[in-house]
Amino acid sequence: MITINGKNIFLEDGYILAEYLKKKEYPIQRIAVEINGNIIPKSKYDTTILKDNDIIEIVSFVGGG
């Protein structure tokens, strides 16, 4: 089980961050992802494997003025 934005979610072992973001239709260019307190660079989304007990925060950037 992992926690994403405060919600407990069950994912199969070896799930890749980029796959999860695509499945949930996150706009990759407009988000930031933190896993266990570390910001993940977009260049590492394809190689970051989600693990049991990870705590993930996904933040969307909103424009406006």
pLDDT the model gives residue 65: 60
pLDDT the model gives residue 6: 97
d(Cα 30, Cα 10) in Å, to the nearest integer? 25
Give the CATH superfamily of 2-60. Answer: Beta-grasp domain (3.10.20.30)
DSSP track, 1-65: -EEETTEEE---TT-BHHHHHHHTT--GGGEEEEETTEEEPGGGTTTPBP-TT-EEEEEE-----
Average pLDDT, 10 consecutive residues per value, the chain (65 residues) = 96 92 95 98 97 96 72
